[in-house]
């Protein structure tokens, strides 16, 4: 039985370093495995070139809880002010229901890029994985939120459920 062995190029020559640098320059998200396959290098050689010769590190994005645009922030403030004004006018506890949707984004690892050691850390929005939407029930008075509660997955919102919600609300008041 004859085994075919891939011929490996010499390790860390100026030409090889330039080849790796060009691939990273064209696509900073390229995986070291892809570089090794396209240039017919060992993955360890590619990693040494990236780290030692080019001074690159593979930096994953950092999760942040949320990121609103200035327009979205203004809308949030306006909505909150409207709710406060309505509550102040009536001086009673109001109930609001809203659907909360989650998003399933790419992972931090999928967002990693080869950057220089002095580069700023990337930011990645953090979302919880979810298959369905969730209902949020909020009770608020003239000054603040009095009680908030997510409806458990698979739970039907009916009279019995609302009785439990109002019992928990009365305990908070």
DSSP for 91-129, written as a single string: -S-EEEEEEE-------TGGG-EEEETTSPPPEEE----
116 forms bridges with which residues in the sheet? 56
For residue 22, what pLDDT band results from cuts at 50, 70 and 90? Answer: very high
pLDDT for residue 3 is more than 60: no
pLDDT grade for 63, boundaries at 50, 70 and 90 = low
Q: Using an 8 Å Cβ cutoff, are 32 and 43 in contact? A: yes
55, 21 Cβ separation under 8 angstroms: no
Q: Give the residue with greater pLDDT, 109 vs 27.
A: 27
Share of the chain above pLDDT 70, in %: 72
- Predicted confidence at residue 103, as pLDDT, reads 56
- Residue 141 has what pLDDT? 75
Average pLDDT over residues 71-92: 74
| pLDDT the model gives residue 21 | 92
**What's the distance, CA 134 to chain centroid?**
19
Average pLDDT value over all residues in the chain: 77
* Residues forming a β-bridge with 59: 113
CB 150 within 8 A of CB 135: yes
Choose the weakest-confidence range: 5-9, 53-57, 60-64, 153-157: 5-9
pLDDT of residue 107: 64
Q: Give the per-residue pLDDT at 143.
A: 73
- Identify the H or E element spanning 79: helix 70-90
């Amino acid at each position: 039985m004859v085994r075919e062995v891939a011929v490996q190029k010499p390790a860390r020559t100026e030409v090889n370093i330039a080849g790796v640098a060009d691939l990273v320059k064209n696509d900073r998200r390229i995986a070291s495995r892809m570089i090794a396959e396209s240039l017919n290098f060992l993955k360890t050689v590619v990693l040494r070139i990236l780290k030692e010769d080019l001074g690159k590190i593979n930096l994953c994005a950092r999760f942040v809880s949320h990121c609103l645009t200035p327009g979205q922030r203004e809308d949030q403030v306006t909505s909150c002010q409207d709710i406060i004004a309505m509550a102040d006018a009536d001086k009673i506890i109001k109930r609001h229901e809203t659907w909360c949707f989650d998003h399933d984004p790419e992972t931090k690892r999928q967002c990693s890029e080869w950057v220089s050691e002095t580069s700023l850390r990337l930011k990645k929005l953090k979302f919880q994985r979810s298959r369905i939407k969730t209902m949020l029930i909020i009770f608020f008075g003239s000054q603040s939120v009095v009680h908030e509660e997510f409806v458990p997955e698979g739970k039907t919102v009916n009279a019995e459920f609302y009785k439990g919600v109002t019992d928990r609300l009365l305990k908070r008041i």
